[in-house]
A and B are shown apart, each in its own frame.
Chain A
């Protein structure tokens, strides 16, 4: 009897030593550092692979090598999220290839994606936070699904003509905005010799802008402009919501998109509790999207609507954690350590 007990104890300790937590991240992510501090505090072992490491590891992949098992895996930041910037147009200088350059590039990109997908999913764990396969959410599918689950969404159109857009403006007398369909774009340009950062911020479309548009344009997303009372950023983790209200309306500068930061008088950010039914419906949405974490953007309108805008699975939760004193880094560390039932 005693022998068995001792053996079990040793086995217990050994499995703890053997199993590490795996975190995919980038070199400069303070949120990852903070979670790791908590894991170390609890004497857990952590292996962190930054994108610089994962890119290297992808150079050689041997399929017969056994898959490594981890206590947990957290896909905090992966190369796959920015798949497009990873694959550079290949140098096909030989004129023979020149005419087929586009299809060559497409094939190279597809192959790189296959390797990338394989690489990231070739690690095993019972506990996965922000699963690799669900990181890329389709904005349109998500909005439609939300609407089906009785979550209020903004009136939304994707169109390619000035005529359609004109009708949409007529239907939305309070105004409309233009938004990116996928990720936000940031780039630097030289304007009169000075480096300036450009980005595709959310922009209001008035009749003046409408008039200036060509008759046909690339598919673009437009939404009704919402009369904001405040914005809500809600961090979701395993069924719980950690919400924050952002009062951006006081401040003219940040009226349309609060990312246009105002340093001197920053927007008020305070802890917030969403109504129960809103939380219940959003919880259903996250479960349908198979996301156990994400940052959810909501607008509370002056007339009382809670309008869902989008969910970002790998969102910056530090911007919710610190102003509301939520200690989300500690919550995440404890989630990773919790033994799956």
Chain B
């Protein structure tokens, strides 16, 4: 898949995973495992970019004697998720017009 396209789709996927409930790195990867190929090395830059863009917030809490960073979606993140969903729909509509029912 084209990197730029995948980057945009991954942003939507990560935001979607966090929008359901507060989440953490490994849980996000586990949630998305059946949807898209994503690893820790791919996830870190996405989380950082989304955080610096104000689309999610983080907090660190203790879990089983160690620290774990939790991610929460912000209002701006919800808006970005909605616009991402619409873009995916647009891509899907183009695909359908081009190829019909072909997979």
- Chains A and B bind each other: no
Residues of A within 8 A of B (CB): none
